[in-house]
A = this chain, B = another copy of it.
Amino acid sequence: MQTYFTPGPAQLYPTFEKHLKTFVDRQLGSVSHRSQVYRELHAFTVSQLRSLLSVPDTHAILFLGSASEVWERILLSMVEKESFHLVNGSFSQKFYQYALAAGKKATKMEKAPGNGFDFDEITVPEEAELICTTHNETSCGVQMTETEIHRLKEAHPDKMIAVDMVSSAPYPALDYSLVDTAFFSVQKAFGLPAGLGVWIVGKQCLEKAILLKERKGLSIGAHHDLPTLWKNALNNETPATPNVMLIYLLGKIAADMNDKGVDTIRKETEKKAGLLYGFARANDAFSPFVLSEHHRSRTVAVLDTQLPAAEIIARLKERNLVIGSGYGDKKATQVRIANFPATDVAQIEALVSELAKI
């Protein structure tokens, strides 16, 4: 068996197989998505996520096909004309490109990958309706802290703010009185196979979508439009047949995380990140790509390497440890190491010990 430290798809959560077996044994793959059995399953997952991520009742928790789909639905539902994007990597850039493809005027503040954003350097264009932030840039391991995100919203209460936490939830402790919408994928820190995006979205976003559709006459999309998703969610259902298996498994793993305690998970994440970055600082063959400690991702560590990344990856693989290569043009000179809850302190220690031998 290999241990995956790849930034998603990633190591599956230790209880994944147990819950999958229950799903199969209970024949939940065959139950109707309009049945009470399904509605209870759906409600359980929503309530576990609410508890884990401290999501208040002002916000709905919706299930879509992927976080990329959520990008599009946010832009269609919440932007009449203009969105503003903080771009410092491939995924924040894609969110920006989605805005252009959706026919919006999109503007951006851009930094080279590896550089993070802080509140006091950001000038938001006056006409922007939505500020798009990325808590964790998976491509280059940069984070924007919750504090900086919250300050940005406090300074612009008239604008909406979206938080991409695809590869960090449940780590960031967002304050949803200061976050209009946020989203993540399950194949990252929740340790599940890919195929489900989770969209956390406030009532104010729904109101904007209704305004755009009914008063402004805009198309806000036909599939998974926010008003239809919201209406179905009130009944613990989805408009189309959902991914019942992943919604079930997500609920069970969120419950396991709640049993452990989100504070414990966050502290362990920080401890493991400390081990990874501490090793990279101390070892001549590696160095953290992100120079500012404050901007270094706690969930995806990106390290510059002296040796070719492919060689390091191959040597670890002989020890059944799988890490990721750098993203895009950094493929040969960086490694990416996921630090998700599915791998514990001992596993990160074992990885660091093998890295040290290289």
Q: Which residues of B contact A8 (CB under 8 A)?
A: 241
Is A9 among interface residues, defined by CB-CB distance under 8 A? Answer: yes
Chain B minimum-CB-distance residue to A5:
B30
Determine whether the beta carbon of A75 is less than 8 Å from that of B222.
yes
Report, as a range, how many residues of chain A touch the other chain: 35 or more
Determine whether the beta carbon of A195 is less than 8 Å from that of B246.
yes
Given A65-B65, A68-B223, A222-B99, residue A30 in contact with residue B4 (CB < 8 A)? yes
Is A244 among interface residues, defined by CB-CB distance under 8 A? Answer: yes
In residues 39-67 of chain A, which contact B (Cβ within 8 Å)?
Answer: 64-67
Is A114 among interface residues, defined by CB-CB distance under 8 A? Answer: no
Q: Which residues of B contact A192 (CB under 8 A)?
A: 29
Give the docked Cα–Cα distance between A240 and B65 (Å): 10
Given A6-B32, A71-B222, residue A66 in contact with residue B101 (CB < 8 A)? no
Determine whether the beta carbon of A240 is less than 8 Å from that of B66.
yes
Is A118 among interface residues, defined by CB-CB distance under 8 A? Answer: no
In residues 91-127 of chain A, which contact B (Cβ within 8 Å)?
Answer: 97-99, 101-103
In residues 190-232 of chain A, which contact B (Cβ within 8 Å)?
Answer: 192-196, 219, 221-225
Determine whether the beta carbon of A195 is less than 8 Å from that of B245.
yes
Given A32-B324, A75-B222, residue A194 in contact with residue B243 (CB < 8 A)? yes
Chain B minimum-CB-distance residue to A188:
B241
Q: Which residues of B contact A1 (CB under 8 A)?
A: 27
Given A29-B193, A219-B102, residue A66 in contact with residue B9 (CB < 8 A)? no
Determine whether the beta carbon of B9 is less than 8 Å from that of A33.
yes
Q: Which of B72, B193, B219 contacts A222 (CB 8 A)?
A: B72
Is A274 among interface residues, defined by CB-CB distance under 8 A? Answer: no
Q: Which residues of B contact A145 (CB under 8 A)?
A: none
Q: Which residues of B contact A30 (CB under 8 A)?
A: 2, 4, 6, 9-12, 322
Given A27-B4, A30-B4, residue A98 in contact with residue B222 (CB < 8 A)? yes
The smallest C-beta distance from A243 to any residue of chain B, in angstroms, reads: 3
Is A185 among interface residues, defined by CB-CB distance under 8 A? Answer: yes
Give the docked Cα–Cα distance between A59 and B142 (Å): 41
Q: Which residues of B contact A72 (CB under 8 A)?
A: 221-223
Is A69 among interface residues, defined by CB-CB distance under 8 A? Answer: yes
Give the docked Cα–Cα distance between A8 and B244 (Å): 12
Is A262 among interface residues, defined by CB-CB distance under 8 A? Answer: no
Determine whether the beta carbon of B64 is less than 8 Å from that of A101.
no
Determine whether the beta carbon of A66 is less than 8 Å from that of B65.
yes
Determine whether the beta carbon of A195 is less than 8 Å from that of B9.
no
The smallest C-beta distance from A209 to any residue of chain B, in angstroms, reads: 12
The smallest C-beta distance from A52 to any residue of chain B, in angstroms, reads: 21
Is A20 among interface residues, defined by CB-CB distance under 8 A? Answer: yes
Query: Can you list 29 A-B pairs, Cβ within 8 angstroms, ordered by A?
Result: A2-B27, A4-B27, A4-B30, A9-B30, A9-B31, A9-B33, A9-B244, A10-B30, A20-B20, A29-B193, A29-B194, A32-B324, A33-B194, A65-B65, A65-B66, A65-B195, A65-B243, A66-B240, A68-B224, A69-B224, A72-B221, A101-B222, A102-B219, A102-B221, A187-B241, A194-B241, A194-B243, A195-B243, A243-B243
Further contacts, 16 of them, CB under 8 A, given A6-B32, A20-B20, A194-B243: A2-B30, A9-B30, A9-B32, A12-B27, A17-B24, A29-B193, A65-B66, A68-B224, A68-B239, A72-B223, A99-B222, A102-B219, A193-B245, A195-B195, A195-B244, A195-B245
